[in-house]
Structure 1
């Protein structure tokens, strides 16, 4: 497969996964904050920006950290290349560029979803019916992924598309867990529900654990091999795909993802929690996923530069998302 085609499909997968995750994160946060104080709301919306690695970019806009302003930035702002509107449009553009290699049914579903989203008055819907808008985005992306699963021959195009999906999903989950885990030092059960709903894992958690504690949350969302949005689950699938598109004996990407996956495979949540600051462990996993993405770009795509995961482009010498520890945080009103 041509490197440009592989790159376009890889990013189409990442764009769509990011749009779906962002919609779910915003929807969960919107419902969680209906009955909390303004200060708590500002803190929660700051966390949302950190979960999608856009706190620094948002801070540069000078906007206040309010629910409507943050939501508009992450949904409708086309100057923000990580917004839902931008991500969906870029996914369509990438797929259109290689349309002759795609299943006709898949392209039809993706194209229809993108065109229908473009007809929505996003600003008005954020004012009047945000949950309906978020539901539309989630269902649209899930429909695209479902049709891909049912119609796409497991060729290299499908593999690169799904590699993008799984790497984006793994990074989103580990970052969300890292940002939100400190919130779970209290018995406030609604915080637990919110984090689990972002990962579509509330039912799985209830079936598996009796109590709500940080160790169980880490066990489910980081180390579970059978929860679709857990980090380990996504890394397993990404590794399997990667081994099929590069030479596994000489590939740096395969070595990186194999080592990271193995560390998760044999880790125990209790040991991780007892070893010290669990957020540092999660930060390390997040950095490992970025390194894997950069290695994939160097091996498989036209550019050997690092990926700028915020702008979703390959840029010469670009630096991936800044670690949250060094990132400027939006100003929270007191």
Structure 2
């Protein structure tokens, strides 16, 4: 497979994951803001922008933090190069570049999804429309992933697509947990204590984990339990452990097809060694922020190594 095609597959699914994650973050912010007074709602929308990593860009053009301002900035603002509309446009561009490596069903899901979302985001999104728009964005991701699973050969293209998905998903979960954990804690003295269950549920909603966590923990929501679930539970498809396990399998698949391992496989094994025997107590002893920062740095290094190993720019 040409490096340009591999690059297209890898980044197509990174951008798709980013768009989905943004929709989940907005959905969680919307739910909690609707139950709060004006001041608390503004604080929640500020945290959504901060978690997305776009606070500087937002504050360069906006004075306040109303819901309408925030979601239109994140969804469709022409000045925001990381908007959902821009991300889905890049998904379609990369899908076109890798057209010979994806099935017809995958292309149709991407192209039709883009056209639907582009039409929805061609005008400012009103409060009466936001829930529907968020659902449609998430639905596009679901349909594309379903088409990949059900129609694509388990070849190089498939492995690059899934590697892109899990690199991005792991980074997003770590970033959300890192930002939200400290935004929700008024003081370090509260670490590990039982706080407002509604706000901690919002953390879980940000990664679509609220129902799964409830099933596994009988509805008992606490900070340490959420950290353990989102970092170490390899049954949950958005946990850091699950993402790294899946990424390892797809990198191993690429190594088998190419008849050699690369730097990305070496870095993957090092990351696995660090996660293998980890406990939640060890994470808190190290410091949650420090652990997550290290995870994100290693995750990014693996992503760069994949590009080098498979000559994405060739």
Q: Is the 8 A contact 2:32 2:44 kept in 1?
A: no
What is residue 205 of structure 1 aligned with on the other side? Answer: 213
Structure having the higher helix fraction is 2
What is residue 85 of structure 2 aligned with on the other side? Answer: 85
Question: How many residues were matched structurally?
Answer: 303
CA distance in 2, matches of 1:279, 1:228: 22
Q: Is the 8 A contact 1:72 1:123 kept in 2?
A: no
CA distance in 2, matches of 1:122, 1:31: 24
Q: Secondary structure at the match of 1:200?
A: coil
Write the deviation string for residues 247-277 of structure 1: whole angstroms up to 9, x where unpaired: 696522112122223322210012222x153
Q: 1:205 to 1:236 in 2, by over 3 A?
A: same
CA distance in 2, matches of 1:236, 1:287: 17
Q: Is the 8 A contact 2:89 2:114 kept in 1?
A: yes
What is residue 243 of structure 2 aligned with on the other side? Answer: 234
What is residue 33 of structure 1 aligned with on the other side? Answer: 33
Q: Which residues of 2 match residues 167-178 of structure 1 at below 5 A? A: 167-178=167-178
TM-score by length of 2: 0.90
Instruction: Kindly state the Cα deviation for residue 208 of structure 1 after the two structures are TM-superposed.
Output: 2.1
Using the TM superposition, name which of 26-35 and 118-127 deviates more.
118-127
Q: Which residues of 2 match residues 63-212 of structure 1 at below 5 A? A: 63-121=63-121, 123-182=123-182, 183=184, 185=190, 187-210=195-218, 211-212=220-221
CA distance in 1, matches of 2:283, 2:84: 34
What is residue 2 of structure 1 aligned with on the other side? Answer: 2
Q: Is the 8 A contact 2:174 2:240 kept in 1?
A: yes
TM-score by length of 1: 0.85
CA distance in 2, matches of 1:228, 1:254: 21
Q: Is the 8 A contact 1:10 1:163 kept in 2?
A: yes
CA distance in 2, matches of 1:62, 1:43: 15
What is residue 298 of structure 1 aligned with on the other side? Answer: 308
What is residue 264 of structure 1 aligned with on the other side? Answer: 275
Instruction: Kindly state the Cα deviation for residue 121 of structure 1 after the two structures are TM-superposed.
Output: 4.4
Q: Secondary structure at the match of 2:235?
A: coil
CA distance in 1, matches of 2:39, 2:118: 34
CA distance in 2, matches of 1:88, 1:4: 19
Q: Is the 8 A contact 1:12 1:91 kept in 2?
A: yes
| Matching of residue 14 in structure 1 with residue 22 in structure 2 | no
What is residue 243 of structure 1 aligned with on the other side? Answer: 252
Q: 1:248 to 1:51 in 2, by over 3 A?
A: farther
Unaligned runs of 5+ in 2: none
Instruction: Kindly state the Cα deviation for residue 198 of structure 1 after the two structures are TM-superposed.
Output: 1.5
Unaligned runs of 5+ in 1: 305-334
